[in-house]
Amino acid sequence: MNKNIHDLVIIGAGVIGHSIAFRVKRMRPELQVAVVGDPMNSLMASRAAAGMLAPFGECDRADGFFRFCRESLDKYPAFIDELVQVSGVPVFLSMAGSLMPSLFYKDSWEERKRFFRDQGVPHEIWPPARVRERAPHLSEKCGEVMWVGEGQVNNRQMHDALAIASARLGVTRLEANVSGFIKDAGALAAAVTDRGDVRGRRFVLASGSWAAALGEILGVSLPMKPIKGQMCRVQVEDDRLEYTVHGKLTYIAPWRGGHGFVIGSTMEDRGFDPGVESDVIDRLVEKAAEVLPCLAAAPLIEAWTGLRPAARDLRPVMGKSERYGNLYYSTGHYRNGILQTPNQADYMAGLLLGERNEIAEFSPSRYHL
Ligand code: GLY
């Protein structure tokens, strides 16, 4: 690694880092690209997500962020096709949609309907009789249910596919921790790692919640912190539910293919605490079982903690550094990193290759980075 000067060094080996490498190599195969990162971090970020592709369930304002997420959802089928073709790794993607039971949206039900109507969001209101037909295992307590045209992906398969596709395209992968940088006249010359220095012409910081510590080393104050989410996966037959279910802080994400259902999630401001509490997991399952009663007795496959990278304004930090001439950021994707992956990859690759301008709302310059 020491001698090579890479055209691009991406720090962060999750879906964000790998997807930038993937897109850059697809656009400019001759460039030398390296992805550097500790695989353990991905276990608590890219691989910890539930894989919901839910701009409509998660956003309630038609702002630039909503538009960005929506565009990313639209890109998903073609993105996964391309990824599967290059990697040869199957990735489960469903565009069957998601369900929002009125049970969970009592105070905002009419507001949600209005928002979806005004924004031309594909949706249907299912009265209880229709719910019985389309999702017969849902509890009667759900009442009226809104079907929304969203998606669901198996994010672990997608992460595997991105890593393999990037490798097939010639991206160098270094499993190492970045602990510092070598600087040269207002720019970065190398990332210092426990496996040697990685030299580059340009660098991208795409290390989620861990980006703040690297920012500190760079002398910039990146207002980013992890928001912990405890979640679990239970064994349930695929035919119990085709759709992803949203219930504000409760969701059920079918991974299908015999992989069971993911149930999430808490929102906890507790630093990098990786702990999983069994009583918290029990409560999540209980709450989810109010919607899908078969979950109550479903065998637990695993429980884990994810760390969402949250910027102060809860918006992504994507674009060029003000402080270093050859540094870029792509982090702060918070609750929607998996959803934003395809659009973020296009956007970052376009920016790095001089084919796109920054979106001011997401620019690192709002924090003087
Ligand atoms: N997008 C769901 C979550 O962050 O829990």
Domain regions of the chain by residue span: 2-48+157-224+313-367, 94-151+225-311
For 367, other C-beta atoms within 10 Å of its C-beta total: 19
- Give yes or no for a contact between 182 and 190, defined as CB atoms under 8 angstroms apart: yes
The DSSP string of 86-138 is HH-----EE-S-EEEEGGG-TTTHHHHHHHHHHTT--EEEE-HHHHHHH-TTS
- Give yes or no for a contact between 52 and 339, defined as CB atoms under 8 angstroms apart: yes
Q: Where are the beta strands (DSSP E) in 159-195?
A: 172-175, 178-184, 187-193
CA-to-CA distance for 234 and 114, rounded, in angstroms? 35
**Residue 335 CA to ligand 1 centre (angstroms):** 4
CA-to-CA distance for 335 and 189, rounded, in angstroms? 32
**Residue 43 pLDDT level (bands cut at 50, 70, 90):** confident
Kindly tell me if the per-residue pLDDT of 2 is higher than 60: no
pLDDT at residue 250 in the model = 87
Task: Spell out which residues line ligand 1, taking CB within 6 angstroms.
Answer: 50, 52, 229, 264-265, 308, 335-336
Domain 2-48+157-224+313-367 shares a fold with domain 94-151+225-311: no
Token reading at 48? 């910890």
Mean pLDDT of 34-53: 93
pLDDT at residue 136 in the model = 96
Cβ neighbours for 123, distance < 8 A, ≥ 6 positions apart: 56, 113, 116, 146, 147, 148, 149
**Residue 299 CA to ligand 1 centre (angstroms):** 22
CATH number attached to the domain at 94-151+225-311: 3.30.9.10
Mean pLDDT of 27-37: 98
pLDDT at residue 59 in the model = 84
Mean pLDDT of 2-23: 94
pLDDT tens digits, 177-212? 999 999 999 999 999 999 999 999 999 999 999 999
**Residue 49 CA to ligand 1 centre (angstroms):** 7
CA 80 to chain centre: 14
pLDDT at residue 91 in the model = 98
pLDDT above 70 coverage of the chain, percent: 99
pLDDT tens digits, 137-178? 999 999 999 999 999 999 999 999 999 999 999 999 999 999
What is the residue with the minimal CA distance to atom 3 of ligand 1? 335
CATH 3.30.1370.110 fits 2-48+157-224+313-367, yes or no: no
**Residue 336 CA to ligand 1 centre (angstroms):** 7
pLDDT at residue 1 in the model = 53
